[in-house]
């Protein structure tokens, strides 16, 4: 690993960070999670993390819609049940 020389402190994203440089280079580095990282890449990464994430739009609920079959079929079963009850009443009377 290349040796980095401490240059000084600099305020990056409102936080004072220690800045390092490689000998013979003009790029600035800082420590991030125990590793050396280029200051420019660090700023881009932090800006990307700070962006608000878009939430998916909620689907609207459709109320009043009945489920589970044909509405005409339900009325047919009701008429069948009432007819069956009438037949049973007539058969018990005789």
Encode pLDDT of 18-41 as tens digits: 999 999 999 999 999 999 999 999
Question: C-alpha angle with apex 38: 34 to 44, nearest 5 degrees?
Answer: 105
Separation CA 72–CA 80 (nearest Å): 12
Residue 34: DSSP 8-state: T
Identify the segments of the chain with pLDDT beneath 70: 1, 62, 64-74, 94
Separation CA 42–CA 12 (nearest Å): 9
Phi, psi of 93 (to 5 degrees): -75, -30
pTM score, whole prediction: 0.52
């Amino acid at each position: 690993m290349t040796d980095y020389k401490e240059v000084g402190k600099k305020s990056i994203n409102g936080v004072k960070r220690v800045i390092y440089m490689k000998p013979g280079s003009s790029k600035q580095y800082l420590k991030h999670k125990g590793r050396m990282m280029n200051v420019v890449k660090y700023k881009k990464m932090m800006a990307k993390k700070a962006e608000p994430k878009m939430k998916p739009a909620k689907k609207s609920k459709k109320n009043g819609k009945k489920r589970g079959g044909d509405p005409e079929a339900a009325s047919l079963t009701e008429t069948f049940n009432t007819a069956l009850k009438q037949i049973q009443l007539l058969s018990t009377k005789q």
